Structure 1
């Protein structure tokens, strides 16, 4: 048993610049030899980094690890700014109070009612892309407008404003792509924009999710403060499109660079739901582990004692490649009998929109492989432009031909 966090010097983390969607091999080494290791991020205090599946699930789901305890601490992070994380800095029951207000909109049953409309949107976008002609940028023509349109219609946000709120939403996922001043400016703009939409609903009721949240706030002030209403709505708008906008091109890139897997879906589109979950496991969306949990008491993780007050980062991408849980974890396999991945997180902060994202990704991939069975990259793989300075890995453009 190790109990001394000072036994070894902290490793510099992240372990290097992200290489497209390749997971750094250091994670595999750590899972085998040092599954809980000390790390030093560019900003904030030192932390433990958990790399094995069981340890990461414990950190994310065990009440002895707290997000709320990060408030007032110099939280380990990859970016210089340390703003208000809203719900992400809460623990139950405060976190549960807010989550319950929106969870009903994202149940599997509710999301299924949105599938036909999502399919209509996907069909229309691909009709437009076909008219545009080959080659076309899949990010611009399909991967961005699909989830943006769905979340706009769900929340009741004008699609015409997408350029503005997409720009401002970058503040939530930026590490170095924006300056601290730009981040504060963009967040201020996003919150002011949402506050304006809230004011409109107080003048005239609507039957969208934003209208329902305003009604809940005004009818029961104890459930939601005005600041929480604005922050929660802004977070839903940003998170409701940003992750899927990024993951959909990532998934298509993986399929086009693994043509046997693309051919498998083309031959049997019924595999798409399993493929979406396998891609969620396989694709390391984050550039590094983030949002440390603080131990509220001494906790044993494996054979290491994490002392009360110490922060722990859970490496989701590493956990999803743990060979103790997943057979041949570095292979893309659409026929896994069990796939308990944590690509959407785990515990109280498990992505509330996971069912919506799954449905959108399923519709998108199934429609693509059906409509464009000969889809290919339109440029050499090494020419593809990748985003930089973000919490997430993703393509700026994905030129395709068919």
Structure 2
């Protein structure tokens, strides 16, 4: 039975939907065999959770680059996808965020924060990134050389991007760790299989994070600083037609929630790739171009974001991979599946930094291309060679701890030690 047939007869035969399969082993541990079946058997898969899952690279790329044909789903339609979240505050913020909005609102909001993520602005952060990477690696090396087993995820991978996005926003040092753990909890509200207690925890996390940002906004009104929150407060107070109060708050939620978890996953995945194939360490001992190639392949081979965050809707009758998609159909883009499509990447399961050709879709494409892509690449390109140079015998001390999540393929822990 094909995946599409199993979905259509799920009610009668109790066959699990693809999104359900991704929540539990074996797919939660390794989703790529399931993605292969999707691409081959049902590239436009009708999930019973209210959307068609698009898995082939060419189709995903087409949807991303044609926002006029596949705009974001109107807010009033989101209840069909996530009925368990309707009426919850965390849900409302997530479904009205920048990634789900359409022009002209999207253009206006992205323009307000885009200047912070230009190439020149990001490159200007290099000195700060380098200083932080040196400190984190030195602390890690000291602990490992004393014979300790260390959780690299919590000691390096999270702190690296966490401190950088915190510096950009103006989040105080003593609040960063407390606020960082709220993001995974909030994401449960858009998990189709989230139980009631997880949705309640999402609301609690939202309220805690919201209280912090409300206080920070008021503080920056009284005492502006050289940070993005101060800039956005200035825009709101100077011209409310450009940035409403709820939009200001939602922008801060979006930037915080997207600012470090995905980059941390990229760092963790790079360490996993080196542990499994140590010969690839030579790429991190090379020039900037070779390091960048290693980083890009890490992001393609196992992307942090497996399902694009924005849900799209067909604005007119269309067709993808020979499948008719009627106007009004909701679609979700399976970035993880597209990243291993053999039509785009020969021998796609092989980790190969020497690849050339098709750019990865790890950061999306089109108007929703990730604002933080340049910062993620900078952080990984600075940190990973230093990690390799200081700790060439770094090895895993156990299997990685993964969180249960469909949209994100992220970590809860990654234990490492020195080998020899």
Fold conserved between structures, TM > 0.5:
yes
Residue of structure 1 equivalent to 2:79: 74
TM-score (norm 1): 0.89
- Alignment partner of 1:169: what SS? helix
Q: Does 1:280 align with 2:291?
A: no
Whole-angstrom distance in 1 between the partners of 2:137 and 2:344: 38
Q: How many corresponding residue pairs? A: 390
Aligned to 1:191: 210
Gap runs ≥5 in structure 2: 11-15
What is the Cα deviation at residue 288 of structure 1?
5.0
Task: Say which SS state the counterpart of residue 251 (structure 1) adopts.
Answer: helix
CA separation in 1, counterparts of 2:218 and 2:30?
45
Q: Which runs of 5+ in 1 are unaligned?
A: none
C-alpha deviations, 1:45-95, integer Å up to 9, x for none? 2x2221111111122231111214253343435x83241222233111111
TM-score (norm 2): 0.86
Matched, 1:378 2:397: yes
Per the TM alignment, residue 100 of structure 1 is displaced from its structure 2 partner at its CA by 0.5
SS at match of 2:411: coil
- Within 5 Å, which residues of 2 pair with 1:102-181? 102-133=113-144, 134=147, 135-174=149-188, 175=191, 176=194, 179-181=198-200
CA displacement at 1:6 relative to structure 2: 12
Q: Residue 34 of structure 1 corresponds to which residue in structure 2?
A: 42
The Cα of 1:290 is off from its aligned counterpart by 5.2
* 8 A contact 1:23–1:284 mirrored in 2: no
Within a 5 Å distance, the mapping from 1:212-251 to structure 2 comes to 212-251=231-270
Residue 329 to residue 6, structure 1, CA distance change in 2 (3 Å): closer
Deviates more, 1:286-295 or 1:152-161: 286-295
Paired with 1:236 and 1:131, the residues of 2 have a C-alpha distance of 33
Q: CA deviation at 1:286?
A: 4.1
The answer (yes or no) to whether the contact 2:73–2:330 under 8 Å persists in 1 is no
Cα offset, 1:112, TM superposition: 0.6
CA distance in 1, matches of 2:287, 2:391: 12
Distance 1:265 1:374 in 2: 16
> What is the distance in 1 between the residues matched to 2:38 and 2:201?
36
1:194 and 1:233 in contact (8 A); partners too: yes
